[in-house]
Amino acid sequence: MTLLSLSHVTKIYRQGGMLGRRLITAVNDVSFELGDEPEILSIVGESGSGKSTVAAMILGQTEPSEGALQFAGKTVAIHSRAERTAFMKEVQPVLQNPFEAFNPLKRVDRYLFETARNFSAGKRPDRQQAEKMADAALHHVGLTLEEVKGRFPHELSGGQLQRVAIARALIPQPRLLVADEPVSMVDASLRMAIVNLFGRLKSELGLSIIYITHDLATAYYVSDNIIIMRKGEIVERGRARTVLDDPQHEYSRALKDAVLAADFSGVG
């Protein structure tokens, strides 16, 4: 069974007013699949490559202009709150900047409890049950409810807050995480810890993860498969280490050459 399928997906944006309108193709004729077996698929490219637009379409935040996008055999089309809730039980985002994902005036544990109540299967859990669900999710990311309970976002480090965001995404027990540049705002010393966390979540929870990044080194380290995008199009794809050990497309080679530690054999 195919978990996720994009078939000839294109996204065109219209910019400007009536007198100066122009069309911008953010994604052009993109196709790929995720099978039912858990995997980490990295989508790599520079700013403007279209990778975040692909993530937004997968998350149902914007619809393709052309082509078909399906999750678990059903077209991703969200037109109501009920459809959004049902979809987000299966597919959860992890955003680039954890500080933008949390209201600075709201304690982070409230986000966890609300997620437990809103996305729980069956009867709405009470406070004690919600706390247990939150604590279990936090344990998966190396934290405990005791560590974050009652604390505001600014009282946590960027790395801690990103792990809380990941824990929040785990509470509905989704089948797919879409992580859009999840380590770009985190201190360099903590990036590999979060990347390693994705690997553990795949193994322990059977999660598939789409890892959107411009960081070839972490993509090489954590990915099963990789897609490289340029100007809205896929220019290369395949097993991550095969592609990055011996890139065939000139853009892929240029990306690799631009990395300071271009010898990927020392990673992982």
Query: Which CATH number applies to 1-90+176-182+204-268?
Result: 3.40.50.300
158-170 vs 127-140: helix crossing angle, rounded to 10: 120
Q: Which pairs from 111-120 meet CB under 8 Å and 24+ separation?
A: 111/164, 111/168, 112/137, 112/138, 112/145, 112/148, 112/164, 112/167, 112/168, 112/171, 115/168, 115/171, 115/172, 116/171, 118/85, 119/85, 119/88, 119/89, 119/171, 119/172, 120/172
pLDDT recorded at residue 163: 94
Residue 267's pLDDT is 52
The Cα–Cα gap between 73 and 169 comes to 22
Give the pLDDT confidence score for residue 35 in this predicted structure. Answer: 94
- Predicted local confidence at residue 265, as pLDDT: 47
| Least confident window among 19-28, 56-65, 158-167, 181-190 | 181-190
Looking up tokens 């965001």 gives 165
Average pLDDT over residues 178-196: 86
Mean pLDDT for 156-178 is 94
* Alpha carbon distance 84, 14 (integer Å): 25
Sketch the domain layout of the chain as residue ranges.
Answer: 1-90+176-182+204-268, 97-173
| Model pLDDT, residue 15 | 83
The model's pTM: 0.91
**pLDDT tier for residue 205 given thresholds of 50, 70 and 90:** very high
